[in-house]
Amino acid sequence: MRLLAIDASNQAMSVAVLENEKIIGEVSTNSKGNHSQRLMPAITKLMADVNWKPADLDRIAVAQGPGSYTGLRIGVTIAKTLAWTLDKEITGVSSLAVLAGNCEESANYLVPLFDARRGNIYTGLYRWESGKLIQIEPDTHISAENWAIYLKKLSGTIEIIGEDRIIHQQTFKKHLGDQVIPASLKNHLPKGSVVGLLSLKKKPVDVHTLLPHYLKLAEAEENWRKEHPDQLEESYVEKI
């Protein structure tokens, strides 16, 4: 299987092409910029560098959140457009699972996180077992304080993953002490290749049903819902 994997869900952007479990090529950046201007050129160049044509692909894989609202919309929209126009399979992978997927060598509890502002984080709880990434707790939006308190019940080392760990490291140290450690420096950025490898374990979904996983509404949307409760006839679903 030949697949194109995309992660534009946060500041870092990564694109990879894989043939089964072999990584053929990968491009990653970690600079502030507009993914809408950089993602398609990155995909085009990478495909050209490995001498693949769009028709050669069998599957598109995309990190579908949580993360930046704008980044998620861009990444998922481009992935869906490619899958639809090329008539290819598509799968979505948790952006938090991608960070946990970086740590395949680890025997620790894995806690990937992204900052969600105002003391909150997007996070989850994972562990590698027998070569498979296991999700112990679902991805969630929670205060770093409450999450650290919850993690105290675990028996074993807790490994924090993600560049935003620095923002919340004092909170985790306060509640967990030496039980918490940071992941290796090479593992804090998402990798398109990990998106691709994790997607191989998933079944394809209908291109129309794949949506970003925000976990939390944008502040403007929350305010609108509070001001217009009579206009809310169904749960919020982002239309793409």
3-state secondary structure (DSSP) of residue 180: strand
Tokens of 222: 């929350």
Q: First CA to last CA across the chain, in angstroms?
A: 27
Of residues 31 and 160, more confidently modeled: 160
What is the C-alpha separation between 96 and 121, in angstroms, rounded? 11
Q: pLDDT tens for residues 156-168?
A: 999 999 999 999 9
Which residues is 2 bridged to in the sheet? 19
pTM of the predicted structure, to 2 decimals: 0.90
> pLDDT > 70: what percent of the chain?
90
Check residue 235 and give its pLDDT: 38
What is the C-alpha separation between 189 and 165, in angstroms, rounded? 11
- Per-residue pLDDT band for 216 (boundaries 50, 70, 90) equals confident
**Residue 86: alpha-carbon gap to chain centroid:** 24
> Residue 54 CB: number of other CB atoms within 10 A?
13
- Per-residue pLDDT band for 225 (boundaries 50, 70, 90) equals very low
Which residues is 13 bridged to in the sheet? 29
Q: Is the pLDDT of residue 74 over 90?
A: yes
Of 89, 64, 74, nearest in space to 42 by CA = 74
Check residue 237 and give its pLDDT: 34
Check residue 32 and give its pLDDT: 85
- Per-residue pLDDT band for 147 (boundaries 50, 70, 90) equals very high
Check residue 7 and give its pLDDT: 98
Query: Which of 18-27, 121-130, 217-226 comes out lowest in average pLDDT?
Result: 217-226
Of residues 43 and 34, more confidently modeled: 43
What is the C-alpha separation between 161 and 154, in angstroms, rounded? 17
Q: Which residue bears the tokens 């090479």?
A: 186
Amino acid identity at 30: N
Q: pLDDT tens for residues 92-110?
A: 999 999 999 999 999 999 9
Averaged pLDDT score across all residues of the chain: 91
Q: Does the bond joining 212 to the residue before it have cis omega, within 30 degrees of 0?
A: no
Of 42, 47, 54, 53, nearest in space to 8 by CA = 42
What element of type H or E holds 133? strand 132-143
Q: Is the pLDDT of residue 12 over 50?
A: yes
Check residue 35 and give its pLDDT: 94
Mean pLDDT to the nearest integer, 4-23: 97
**Strand 158-161 with 180-182, pairing:** parallel
Domains and CATH numbers, the chain: 2-95+190-231 (3.30.420.40), 103-187 (3.30.420.40)
Q: pLDDT tens for residues 131-145?
A: 999 999 999 999 999
Tokens of 149: 């308190």
Amino acid identity at 232: L
Check residue 217 and give its pLDDT: 55
Check residue 162 and give its pLDDT: 98
